[in-house]
């Protein structure tokens, strides 16, 4: 199994940057595809980015493409989300997720393990 612990959330001004980190434990992490999602109050969970088990293949939602970057370090068992040019619309709880499969996925239903979530608030 995989356990996920997120960190790096907080308050940031519009146009600023924030880096989220997800620390994973478990023997299957190096073979697991990872993803980042977010959920604002009253809204459904939204896909942001996913990365393959080798940390090379990536896929981004249109809303964050060019602003967010996902990365994976199998040696350190971490997956990060670098967020630049943040907007007030980015305010949400951000979640890290892992799959048992090595293939990337953009649906929350395809992920088995989830972090507790970390709040990101962007002020205007």
Compare 84 and 54 and report the one with higher pLDDT.
84
pLDDT in tens, 64-115: 999 999 999 888 889 999 999 999 999 999 999 998 877 888 999 999 999 9
Q: 15: buried, middle or exposed (CB in 10 Å: 19+, 13-18, 0-12)?
A: exposed
pLDDT in tens, 6-15: 999 999 999 9
DSSP the chain: --EEEEE--EEEETT--EEEEEEEESTTGGG--EEEEEE-TTS--EEEEEE-TTS--EEE-TTTBTTEEEEEETTTTEEEEEE-S--GGG-EEEEEEE-SSSS----GGG--EE---EEEEEE-
pLDDT in tens, 14-32: 999 999 999 988 766 667 8
């Amino acid at each position: 199994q995989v356990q996920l612990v997120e960190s790096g959330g907080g308050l940031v001004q519009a146009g600023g940057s924030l880096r989220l980190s997800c620390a994973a434990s478990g023997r299957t992490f190096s073979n697991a595809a990872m993803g980042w999602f977010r959920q604002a109050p009253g809204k459904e969970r939204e896909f942001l980015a996913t990365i393959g088990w080798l940390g090379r293949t990536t896929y981004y939602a249109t809303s964050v493409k060019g602003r967010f970057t996902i990365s994976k370090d199998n040696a350190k068992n971490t997956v990060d989300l670098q967020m630049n040019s943040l907007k007030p619309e980015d305010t949400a709880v951000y979640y890290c997720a892992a799959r048992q499969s090595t293939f990337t996925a953009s649906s929350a239903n395809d992920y088995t393990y989830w972090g507790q979530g970390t709040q990101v608030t962007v002020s205007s």
